[in-house]
Every structure is written in structure tokens, then in C-alpha cells.
Amino acid sequence: MDDITLVLRMGRGKIVIRRIDNSTSRQVTFSKRRNGLLKKAKELAILCDAEVGVMIFSSTGKLYDFSNTRSHHFLSFT
């Protein structure tokens, strides 16, 4: 019974969401999370047959986007 209790208590620790001070670490984190978010958007579009559009702007103003519909539908929301 103790082993089961131990397994149930394990898991990911909570992290504090705050700005990353180190610019290199911040850029690496942005890239990883951006890719993860775009992947989730693609999966949502495929799994649920949904129209999905995502726009992400980096701190330098570069645009990253995903849309599974025609671009004029996506751009009409902005």
C-alpha cells in the first residue's frame, strides 16, 4: 500500500510563472514553447476538425503563425 501511495504523490513539480531574466534562456524557452503551442494547434485542428488559427509575436516582433483554413479567414479576426 505504501508503494501505491508513493506513486500517487509523484508528479511534476509546480513552477512559478515569471519572466526569465537570462535572455538566452528566455529565447530557448520561447522557441520550445512556441513549437509546442503550434503543434497543439495542428493536433486540435486534425482531431476535432476545427478551424484553428494561432499568431505568436516574439519579443523582437517576428510573427509565427499557424492556420488550417484559408488565410483571409484567419486575418479577418485581427
The DSSP call for residue 62 is: -
What are the structural domain ranges in the chain? Answer: 16-75
Note the CATH number of domain 16-75: 3.40.1810.10
Radius of gyration of the chain (CA): 18
User: Could you read off the pLDDT of 32-73 as tens digits, one per residue?
Assistant: 999 999 999 999 999 999 999 999 999 999 999 999 886 555
31, 24 in Cβ contact below 8 A?
A: no
Q: Which residues contact 57 (CB under 8 A, 6 or more apart)?
A: 63, 64
Q: What is the mean pLDDT of residues 11-30?
A: 92
d(CA 39, CA 19): 23
pTM attached to this predicted model: 0.70
Over pLDDT 70: what percentage of the chain? 76
Q: What is the pLDDT of residue 69?
A: 81
Q: Which of 63, 28, 30 shows the shortest CA–CA distance to 54?
A: 63
